[in-house]
Amino acid sequence: MISTSTRYQIITTNMTRTKALIENDAAVKREIEYYNKTIKTIKTIDEFIKNDRVFKFAMKAYGLEDMAYGKALFRKLLQEGVASPTSMVNKMSNPLYKEFAKAFDFQGKGAEATSAASATTEAVEKYVQQTLEQREGNDNQGVRLALYFKRKASSITTTMGILADKAIMEFVQTTFNIPKAAAKADIDIQVRHLEKILDVKDFQDPKKVDMLIQRFSAMWDMNNASVAATSPVLTLFNQSTDQGIGLDLMMSIAKLRRGGW
């Protein structure tokens, strides 16, 4: 298996081609065609919730696939909407719920909610991205986390935003070698610790985001040596790697040290 960094680069070097391959997959293509044909015909929350295929598509698109069974909860979220500061979705710590409620804003837009870009073209784009990340995660969860961080980093503007997103937090824990047990500490202590080791403003800088992904990839492979790459060069000459750490991983670590992270 190739290293996390190498696989990530292969995917992102030509993301348009990568996504096109996903879109042309027979199963994915069928779901997209059905969704595109059906979504604009849905005019109410009940119609949306009751169409299991459309609802699951939308839930997956907005990163909530694992919660697709909670139809009663999402009916209430959509009924209350996002406009009122006292609505349920505005009290939830996970930002994905609010993003979903805004995308399918029946409370604010009524029957026109399913004609909005967030419910049509954007939902399809997000579905393809989610499918890509899930498939990569089946082979290497580190690649999935790297892709997720690249996609979500700019939306994280506070340290609390890191703590609120489990995947982002796992990325940060891995990148900076923070023990998982640290998550049991008081929230204020966690915030202070994170602010000592990173500046969340860096998440708005594409170059710094890429550097963080590079560091994460090296740390992920070092912590999961069994999935780290065997260098193609060493394989060609029938040489083994030390403890599963490939040449490309060692080079990545060397670059990180030179970069001062």
| Within a domain: 6 | no
Looking at residue 1, what is its pLDDT?
66
Closest among 89, 29, 100, 91 to 64, alpha carbons compared: 100
Q: What residue type is 228 in one-letter code?
A: A
Whether residues 158 and 95 fall in one domain: no
Whether residues 31 and 70 fall in one domain: yes
DSSP tag of 232: H
Q: What CATH code is carried by the domain that includes residue 179?
A: 1.10.3700.10
Asked if 146 and 140 touch (Cβ cutoff 8 Å), the reply is no
Whether residues 202 and 249 fall in one domain: yes
Whether residues 248 and 170 fall in one domain: yes
- pLDDT, tens digit (0-9, with 9 covering 90-100), for 53-107: 999 999 999 999 999 999 999 999 999 999 999 999 999 988 899 999 999 999 9
Query: Confidence class of residue 26 from pLDDT cuts 50, 70 and 90?
Result: very high
Whether residues 118 and 150 fall in one domain: no
Torsion sign (Cα): 42, 44, 47, 53: positive
| Within a domain: 102 | yes
| Within a domain: 41 | yes
With b for 16 or more beta-carbon neighbours within 10 A and e for fewer, the 138-159 pattern comes to: eebbbbbbbbbbbebbeebeeb
Phi then psi for residue 245, to 5 deg, are -95, 120
Closest among 137, 129, 142 to 3, alpha carbons compared: 142
| Within a domain: 183 | yes
Number of folded domains in the chain?
2
Whether residues 170 and 110 fall in one domain: no
Q: Which of 123, 157, 184 is the last residue of a domain?
A: 123
Looking at residue 93, what is its pLDDT?
84
Q: What residue type is 41 in one-letter code?
A: T
- Full-prediction pTM beyond 0.85? no
Look at the chain and count its residues: 261
The whole-number average pLDDT for the span 45-52 is 98
- Determine the straight-line distance between the first and last CA of the chain, rounded to whole angstroms: 26
| Within a domain: 201 | yes
- pLDDT, tens digit (0-9, with 9 covering 90-100), for 130-139: 999 999 999 9
177: left (phi over 0), alpha (psi -120 to 50) or beta: left
Looking at residue 183, what is its pLDDT?
85
Whether residues 119 and 172 fall in one domain: no
Query: Per-residue pLDDT for 258 more than 60?
Result: no
Determine the structural domain holding residue 190 and report its residue range: 141-259
* Mean of per-residue pLDDT scores for the chain: 88
| Within a domain: 2 | no
- 100 vs 91: CA distance, rounded Å: 14
Whether residues 150 and 103 fall in one domain: no
| Within a domain: 8 | no
Query: Confidence class of residue 226 from pLDDT cuts 50, 70 and 90?
Result: low
Q: Determine the angle formed by the axes of helices 52-61 and 121-139, rounding to 10 degrees.
A: 70
Q: Which of 93, 123, 153 is the last residue of a domain?
A: 123
| Within a domain: 198 | yes
